[in-house]
Structures are given as C-alpha cells and as structure tokens.
Amino acid sequence: MKKIFTQTRRGFIRTAAAGSVALGWLGAQRAPMAFAAEAAKPALLGGTPVHAGGWAKWPEWSEAWEPAVLKVFRSGRWFRGSDGHIEEFERGYAQLLGAKRCLATASGTTALIVGLHVMDVDAGDEVIVSPYTFIASYNAILTSMALPVFADTDPATLTIDPASIASRITERTRAIMPVHIFGMPCDMDPINTIAREHKLAVVEDACQAWLAEYKGRKCGTIGDLGCFSFQESKHMPSGEGGAITGMTDELIDKCNSYHNCGRACGTNKGNGSFTRGNNYRMTQVQAVILALQFDKLVKQTAIRRANADYLSANLGQIPGITPIRLPENSRAVWHLYPFRYDPARFNGLSRDRFAQAMSAEGVPCGGIYREQYYDGLLDEAIASRGFKRLWSAERLKAYRDSFQELKGNKQVCETTVGMTQNMLLADRSDLDHIIDAIRKVQAHGAILAKANR
C-alpha cells in the first residue's frame, strides 16, 4: 500500500507542477488539494487503507543498555539504599529540567501523593484540579483524604482555565494541581498569582510533560513541586517509576523522608522514623534504565515537536479539525497529539465512527478522557465514613451538584481526538498519511455516517 500511495503522491507532484501550483506541502504546510486518495473507497467500507506501514513500537529497548542493566541485577544491590544509581539519575534529571533537586519515586501517582503531603494537604482539605486528566490526579487527592475540586477546562487549550480557579476557593482549599495534559503546559503565571494571593501550594502534575516549557522554564519547576511518571507508555519509560522536582532542599528532603518510611533526610532531621512516611521508593534498575534515556528523550522531544507543528499547520486547514492552542511562549512535548473534532463538518459522522474510519485507514486515534467525575469513584469517596466525617452533608451534596456546572469539560471530553506519541516519531511521508486519511474520511463522511446506522 505504501508503494501505491507513493505513486499517487508522485502523480500529485506532476499535476501540481504542470498547473504551476505552489508545492507548499513540501514545507511546513501542504497546499489544500484534492488527492486521488480522497476519492478512493474508505477502508472501513472495504477500500485500501491510506497507511499500511504501522507505527513505531513503544516502549523501545536497546541492546546497548543490557550490560548496565545486567550489572545491577548481578550486583544484588537493587534497593535504593544499597547503591548510587538512583541519586545519579536524580542529579541528571534535575539538571535536565533546571530544577534544584529531584527525588525518584515508585510511580507518578506516588510522586503526587508525596508532593501533596509535603505541601501540607491534609484530611478535610480541598485541592483545585483540572477535571480533564488521567484518573490518578483525582486519586492522589482522594488518597490524601482531600476533595478534588474541579476547575473549568479551556476548550482551546484542554487545560485548566485559570479564570475559573478563584471561584472554587473555600476556607478549606490548600493547593492547586495544574495538569499539563498531553505534555501541553498550563498557563502557569495566573495560576501562581492566585496561589500566592490565597497562600495556596502549587503541585504540578507533569506526569505527561517531561521537558515541556512555559516562558523559558520547564514544567515541573514552576510551582512548588512537579510530579512525573515513567510508566511504560511515557516518553522516558522504566515500566513503572516517577519523580518529584523542586527548587529547595527543604521540600525535596521532606519528600525523601515521606517516601522512605519517614526516615531523616538532609535538612529534614530526626531520629529513626520521626515523621509519618511510606515506602514509595524506586529501584536501582529503574534508575539505570531511565538515566540511559536522557539523550533519547531530548532528541525525540525535538522530533515530536517538529512533527506536531507540521500536523497542526496542515490539520488546521481542514474544516472541522481544530488543533490545540498553547499558552504564549510555551512548548509542548505531545504525549498525545490531540485535536478537536466537529462532526457537523464531516456530514454528521460521529467522533467514534470517525475514529473507527481513521483506524481502518491505518491511523489509530480515538476519544480520550470521559467525564470521569460520573464514573463512580467520587460517589464512592463521598459516601465513605471518612469523607462523611470530614465534610457536612450539605457540602458533599453541593460538591456533587457542582459537576453539572463545570464549563468546557463535557465539550472537551466529547470532541477531542488523540493520537499516541509514537506516531509523532514517524517520517514526514507517514505524517502525510494522517492528513490524507482525515481528508479521505471527510470526503466520505456522509456515506460513513449512514453506514453507521
């Protein structure tokens, strides 16, 4: 199929050159055009897929890493306390981000739990968070016996709408948790301003945002603490794993104590287990695998960025497809490449059917997060004995009712489509297949929508 499609493209070049059409598609933006492929039968209805080549496998493994990994296994020094690989990783990651310090953790979720604890989020507190996020952001707050209070979602950016935060603040509010979803930075300046005015902590959920930048600073270094995930799907994976970054010794030493059964660390002094704590430690082998990937992360981030820019420039030309806007002077890292989809411009083709048709064309994509506050976990939490002890029945009812008033989130949940990050590592010719597949599905929107019924 790849071959057939190459011929089609060559045919286009000839036609375009003969007609003196600017070959804009060789640059950042392809000129609007009618591809022969658009006329072809949709793959969902038995036609030939636009893209048959597959996409990069993820996670990646390199044989060159094996000696270092085997060395750790053979040494028998596997846990944090028995060797120096974890500290080495922490120094390297802090340097990469321009953070003063870093603490490795067992996962992104445990990084968030530790970060919230150290910023003094306690039972009965409230944390303002974006509803449009992976469920772990909610769960980390609930684990602290605090209430996740949802801000509005800005449909243009998919991130927290800073203008909605102030109205959510109560006397119980202790922290704001901005989520840099899909590696797209939140608008951090107004968030930090509100936090300062109301003496609130800012714990950044940067679990999808390794190396994302906002006004010259890396996400995870802009609030009080930043939390990262290195789970298998992530850009720098180690199966499971996480990290907290911070700009003071005091905070990271406290994080270290809490993640290590309450043991003393640096400026956080005491005898034995003198503070509360848990075991949220990373293992030596995870740290070795992560440190081996620093250069790869930097190089692949540049590729994902360039390819996302290319897609945005081209998909923005297609009626009904809206690329996501980033805050000024910020750079995303695209853990997913999202765009907003308008079925009305695709002859009523539903988003799910669009995604099916795209997947059949060899371009897997789909809707991402649902309105997860209706999934049941919050009902379960607020019906629990603990939550009933901590909040009045009136507050819990008003909290539950407030989900209906959230602005932007339902719309974002219903209209966003995402493609996974590995697709952004492809060659330009493969990226062109994404654009062509969307145009093809659009050209056949009516028939695909009908076939739906």
Ligand X SMILES: Cc1ncc(COP(=O)(O)O)c(C=O)c1O
Contacts with ligand X, residue ranges (CB under 6 A): 107-109, 133-134, 136-137, 179, 205, 207-208, 229, 231, 242
Number of helices and strands (H, E) in the chain? 17, 15
Looking at the Cβ atoms of 206 and 443, the one nearer to ligand X is: 206
Whether 202 and 223 have beta carbons less than 8 Å apart is answered as: yes
Looking at the Cβ atoms of 44 and 97, the one nearer to ligand X is: 97
Nearest distance in Å: CB 335, ligand X:
7
Listed residue (329, 327, 99) closest to 215, CA to CA: 329
Looking at the Cβ atoms of 43 and 412, the one nearer to ligand X is: 412
Whether 310 and 28 have beta carbons less than 8 Å apart is answered as: yes
Tokens representing 392? 């009045």
Distances (CA, A) of 10 to 3, 13, 23, 328: 11, 5, 12, 38
Nearest distance in Å: CB 390, ligand X:
24
Looking at the Cβ atoms of 241 and 362, the one nearer to ligand X is: 241
Looking at the Cβ atoms of 109 and 442, the one nearer to ligand X is: 109
Nearest distance in Å: CB 112, ligand X:
6
Give me the residue label for tokens 């180690």. 238
Nearest distance in Å: CB 212, ligand X:
12
Backbone torsions φ then ψ of 201, nearest 5 degrees: -80, 155
* DSSP symbol at 282: P
Tokens representing 387? 């939550």
Looking at the Cβ atoms of 137 and 257, the one nearer to ligand X is: 137
Residue nearest to ligand X (CB): 108
Backbone torsions φ then ψ of 113, nearest 5 degrees: -65, -45
Looking at the Cβ atoms of 179 and 251, the one nearer to ligand X is: 179
Distance between CA atoms of 113 and 118, rounded to whole angstroms? 9
Q: Is the peptide bond before 319 cis (omega within 30 degrees of 0)?
A: no
Judged on CB neighbours under 10 Å (0-12, 13-18, 19+), 283 is: buried
Whether 366 and 418 have beta carbons less than 8 Å apart is answered as: yes
Distances (CA, A) of 437 to 94, 354, 361: 41, 10, 6
Nearest distance in Å: CB 334, ligand X:
13
Looking at the Cβ atoms of 208 and 312, the one nearer to ligand X is: 208
Looking at the Cβ atoms of 412 and 443, the one nearer to ligand X is: 412
Give me the residue label for tokens 């996962």. 107
Looking at the Cβ atoms of 152 and 204, the one nearer to ligand X is: 204
Whether 342 and 415 have beta carbons less than 8 Å apart is answered as: yes
Listed residue (357, 436, 349, 358) closest to 36, CA to CA: 436
Nearest distance in Å: CB 18, ligand X:
49
Whether 284 and 79 have beta carbons less than 8 Å apart is answered as: yes
Distance between CA atoms of 99 and 221, rounded to whole angstroms? 6
Amino acid at 229: S
Nearest distance in Å: CB 1, ligand X:
33
